[in-house]
């Protein structure tokens, strides 16, 4: 594993640990607290549908129970939260994983410790260090994707690029 990838993977692992990102579903009542009116509207809609279903002769007890189970299931799904695990392999990949993970690598800035580790690393090229410092000067921070793009984009597009310049 090259040094840049090693530093980025270490940083990603620290973020995952710090934020409890393990990809497991957890109960989170924050949705019900922050979106009270939506929850109220959902139950009001439930009672409105029950009011319409009750007098209809072909809607029996099983229809009522099935509908109630569906509403309770949907409400329970709104109270489940999943914090996806960030991985180095997801950086720059635009496929269905983006629906689950989001494009976190565009919005997550590297920590000052990781930036310093990259700038102090002797195996990282001076060209890459200069470009990183320019990005930090312009944006005030540098994202995971910025470093990934600088270090790996040319390597992917030109297979015969010299290793010393890009890494």
Q: Higher model confidence: residue 113 or residue 50?
A: 113
**For residue range 16-45, what is the model confidence (pLDDT) as tens digits?**
999 999 989 988 888 888 988 988 998 899
Enter the tokens of residue 21: 């990102």
Residue 61 confidence class, pLDDT cut points 50, 70, 90: confident
Can you give the pTM of this predicted structure? 0.70
> In angstroms, how far is CA 160 from the centroid of its own chain?
33
Question: Is residue 80 helix, strand or coil?
Answer: strand
Predicted pLDDT of residue 111: 92
Enter the tokens of residue 105: 């690598």
**For residue range 106-126, what is the model confidence (pLDDT) as tens digits?**
888 999 999 999 999 898 889
Give the span between the Cα atoms of 75 and 46, in whole angstroms. Answer: 11
Give the span between the Cα atoms of 32 and 118, in whole angstroms. Answer: 43
What is the chain's mean pLDDT, rounded?
Answer: 84
55 in the Ramachandran plot: left (φ > 0), alpha (ψ -120 to 50) or beta? alpha
Contacts by 141-144 with C-beta closer than 8 Å and gap 24+? 141/109, 141/110, 142/109, 142/110, 142/115, 143/105, 143/106, 143/107, 143/108, 143/109, 143/110, 144/8, 144/11, 144/12, 144/91, 144/104, 144/105, 144/106, 144/108, 144/110
Predicted pLDDT of residue 17: 95
Predicted pLDDT of residue 133: 93
Residue 143 confidence class, pLDDT cut points 50, 70, 90: very high
Predicted pLDDT of residue 154: 64
Predicted pLDDT of residue 135: 93
In the predicted structure, residue 74 carries a pLDDT above the cut 80: yes
């Amino acid at each position: 594993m090259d040094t840049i990838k090693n530093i980025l993977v270490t940083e990603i692992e620290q973020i995952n640990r710090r934020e409890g990102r393990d990809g497991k579903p957890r109960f989170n009542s924050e949705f019900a607290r922050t979106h009270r009116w939506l929850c109220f509207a959902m139950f009001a809609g439930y009672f409105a549908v029950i009011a319409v279903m009750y007098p209809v002769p072909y809607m029996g007890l099983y229809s009522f129970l099935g509908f109630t189970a569906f509403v309770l299931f949907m409400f329970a799904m709104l109270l489940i939260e999943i914090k996806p695990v960030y991985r180095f392999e997801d950086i720059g990949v635009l496929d269905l994983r983006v629906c689950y993970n989001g494009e976190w690598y565009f919005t997550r800035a590297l920590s000052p410790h990781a930036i310093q580790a990259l700038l102090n690393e002797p195996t990282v090229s001076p060209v890459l260090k200069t470009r990183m410092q320019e990005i930090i000067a312009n944006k005030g921070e540098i994202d995971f994707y910025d470093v990934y793009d600088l270090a790996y984009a040319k390597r992917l597009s030109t297979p015969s690029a010299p290793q010393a310049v890009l890494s």
